[in-house]
Amino acid sequence: MRTFVVGVVGVCGVLAAEAASLLMPERHAMSWFSGVALALALVAVRWSLGRRPTPGPADGGQDQAGMTIRRWVERAESQIAWSDSTRADWDRRLRPSLARQFEIATRQPRSRNPAAFANTGRILFGDDLWRWVDPDNISRTGAQERGPGRAVFVHIIERLERL
């Protein structure tokens, strides 16, 4: 926008110089006035283009990346805290996430073939760990039961990382 304004002012300056030179009795000076006005306009536009601020990261790009990492760390810490809680908390907060990650890692949708999904889970996790990932193994009385704990959560995450 600033360059546009400088250009418009330059064109107006050239037109003003030509108008002034038309009023002068010696017409041969008209080309000199127009040339000087045009040169000044071009120098002003070039200077305006050179002074344009360099584009930086969009609205705190580095801060946005830092916020994303902080949110990821907070979410991981809260998941670890939920792993030490009751089974109801495990079923509500961790099991859906773990099952979704398992489904993504194996590229085998549970809705397509639930039996194959469960068999793959048993093969990859073993019966002990699969019962904590299986999305169909939700307890109705989980508020009184103790959750599996951090060690089981870590083992499940390690198995998912190997996929």
Instruction: For residue range 50-81, list pLDDT tens digits in order.
Output: 765 665 555 555 677 778 888 888 888 888 88
What pLDDT does 59 receive?
56
pLDDT at 3: 66
126 and 137 Cβ atoms separated by less than 8 Å: no
The residues, any chain, with a CB within 8 Å of residue 23's CB and separated by 6 or more, are none
Question: Rounded mean pLDDT of the chain?
Answer: 79
pLDDT tens, 11-33? 777 777 777 777 777 766 666 76
Cα(127)–Cα(110) distance, integer angstroms: 18
pTM of the full structure: 0.55
Split at pLDDT 50, 70, 90, the class of 2 is low
Of 50, 44, 52, residue with least CA distance to 6: 44
Angle separating helix axes 30-50 and 2-23, nearest 10 degrees: 170
Is the separation of the CB atoms in 38 and 14 below 8 Å?
yes
pLDDT at 5 over 80: no
Contact 131, 158 (CB under 8 A): no
58: Cα separation from own chain's centroid: 11
The helix or strand, by DSSP H or E, that contains position 156, with its residue range, turns out to be: helix 150-162
Q: Are 93 and 105 in contact (CB under 8 A)?
A: no
Neighbours of 124 (CB within 10 A): 17
Instruction: Report whether 106 contacts 120 (CB < 8 A).
Output: yes
